[in-house]
Every structure is written in C-alpha cells, then in structure tokens.
Structure 1
Amino acid sequence: MEKTTAPDAATLAAEPLLFSLHSSQILASNEKGHPFWKPLPPRLFVQVQPEQPERACIVALCGTTGKRFLTHAYEHGPFQLQDGQRLPTVCALGVYFASQHRAMFPAEGAAMLLGVDGSIQEIRPTKGKTFKLEQLYAALSCDYIDVHHPQHGLYQDWILVFDDEGKFKERPINPLATALWYETYPLDHYSPVDVVAGPVLLMKSQMMR
C-alpha cells in the first residue's frame, strides 16, 4: 500500500472542525404526526473537536460576523446523509465526519474525491502522472472548474478542485471541504464565506499541470 500524504498529525490545529450539514436531513413529523426527512438549514454545522468527536455539537453560523451559536433545536436526530446513510445522534455525526476527515488524504500520485455526503473515493490519472481537464470534468460532473490553492497553513501543498458553477447550480456545500477551509481560514481571523459547493477533488498541487 502506498503511503498517504496527510499533514503530520502533530501539526494539526486544536481548533474544532466545522462540517457543513447542508446536504443532510433530520427526521421530523408533519401536522398529522407522519414522519418525514426534513432538510437542515444551509448555515448549520456539526462542530467536532478532533480528539473528542463523540462530544460533537451542532452550531449555527452567522454569515455576517462569523460567530457560531450552539443550538439544541436539532440535536434529537436521527440524521440522514445524502447517500441514504442514517446516523442516530449528533455524536454519531461527529464520529463519522471526524473519521472521514482523517481518511481524506490520498496516496502519492492520486486525488481524493470528497462527496457532498462526506464520502471519499481515491482516483488516479487515466493517462500519465497528472490529471487532464476531461477527467476532472467527469469526476466532478461539471463543465467548468475552479482551483483553490491555500497560500499558508497545513494545506499549502494541496489544491481543491471543484465545480466553478456549483453555487449557481445550488449544489450542496461540501462538508469535508468546509472543514479544511475553516482550518485554513479560521473564523476568529477571517470573514465567513460560502465555501465550495458540490463534490471536490483534494490533491497535491503537482497533480494538476
């Protein structure tokens, strides 16, 4: 098995991770008491301490100030991800996303496809050692791509490749990419932004030429 290229665990920030719940649903009841899966608000996140994912909580993010507010309105669960996977509690959500976050770094020579449900899938260039545009378009199901290259922090050797029209097409905010984004641009120091929407490819910068 090829060695993965994740940042050294000893350097990872102690700040809590923020995973968007934009593509998730919660079990609710209608006026007649019939259960149905209700979409969660777009600015809702599960906040996870990397070393204590079982103590996860749900927070609402103010889009103006970047402040996070603990909310108990959704903590009863259960929850359903876009792929149909069901998680009974907020704790289970935190454990799931923290586990996916630890596993989202691809092996050398590969990229990781980060799904809007928190899923991960490693892919490799079909020809040569770098990705061509056609393969990126197909992997992301899009016609145009955007690339973000963090200029500092843990991920400065990495790039995020995503659908340039993702927000316009109202694709769900990507939970794993959200966590990475706010690790790089903490809300205590940077203004909140609508982070990338739709599936995202995470790869080393030299994988795309």
Structure 2
Amino acid sequence: MSHAADDRREDTSDEPVGGVTPVGATRTPLRLALLSLLVIAVTVGAWVGVGLNGEPPEPEPLASLPQPIVDEKWMEDSISRNKERIADEPVVTAPEEPEEEPEELSAELNGEEESTTTEPAPTAAGCGDYSGNRQIACNLLPQHGFSTGEMSCLDQLWEHESGWNEHASNPSSGAYGIPQALPGDKMASAGSDWQTNPATQISWGLGYIADRYGSPCGAWGYFQSNGWY
C-alpha cells in the first residue's frame, strides 16, 4: 500500500489542483510572443531607415517603375493639326529696302539743284583789285552811270568818312553807315535793311553823289577843299 500511495503522489504532483493552470505558465508564452514582435518591428524600422551598410537604401531603379502609356494615334493627330495651323498663319516678311537711285538720275537732280543756285554777280571790269564792300561799290558804279575808273576817288572819299564800315556811326552828328548819311534813316529810301546791308547804303550814297556832285571824283574834290561833302 505504501508503494501504491507513493506512485499516486508522483503521478499527481505535476497536475494542477482542481484542474486550474498556474498563472506563471500562461505568462511565459505571451511574453515570448511580444518579444518576438518587438524584435521584428525594430529590425524592419532599422532596415527602412538605414541600409545594411549604414547608408540609406538606394531608390528602386526607374526601369522597375511602370512606364506611361503613349497614345501614338493621338500624337500623330496633334502633330498634323499643328502643321495645318502653321500653314494657315500669314507669313511676315521684312520690308524691302528702297532701291538706290540710278547714278544718271542722281546726276540730273544734282544738276537741277546747281542750276537753281544763285550765282554771285560777275565782277565789273576794273574791279578785280577790290574786295568786300569796296568791290560791291565798284560793281554798282555802272548802274548809277559812272565808270569803274571813278572807284579810286570813291575809295578815298568813303575811307575818310567811315572806313567802309556799314555800322560806322558818328555820335556827335548822328551820321551813319558807309556814306555817313545824315541822318542815317535817309537811306531807308534805298531799302528797309539800310542799317545792316552795305549794298543798300552804297546804292543810296552813289545816288546822293550823282545828285550833288555829279561824280565820285567831284565829291572827293569837294571833300578835299572843305573836309566834308
């Protein structure tokens, strides 16, 4: 009997009392499962963040990505429509440069311009030795009935009076201009530009000499005798 009792105690020592599983027996497998999940999560996170060699994982090659689908018919239609639109647009061309004038026409125009240019009055015979206001006076002598031989007398007369200066003015008497008209506005009868135009002053002076002394040499002789004319 003692042996049978011992055998029964050995058989029943590992069984739970009253069919209840000990608490420690259920916690051990659960902990192992949770620990395994934690290890897997950490491993996956580390692989995603950092590659096996300590560097970020290389991106997936483009060849492995899905390629876009190209509609070849749509592309052909689009190209055809663009060609038609370009063909319909107006062509803008640069304006043509004007053709150069022929040399003959240019020469004719230049000839017309030259022909319309006012040429200076020819120098009267015997006046080539004079210039400026003196030459103007010498050329005007024949127009007032005098020969150009009178120019030597006229030159000396008006040299004493004004030095042949069309702006000469005598402040004491008011005489003005090349012939020293007194007063100066008498010369307005020869032209409105009497104050500045030497030809107007000379024309008036020759008329005055013709009326009073007959000739420039007659006026010069009177001046030599009286100091004025």
Shared fold per TM-score greater than 0.5: no
TM-score tier (shorter): under 0.3
* TM-score of the pair, normalised by structure 1: 0.22
Give the structure with the larger helix fraction.
2
Give the structure with the larger strand fraction.
1
- In our comparison, the structure showing a higher alpha carbon Rg is 2
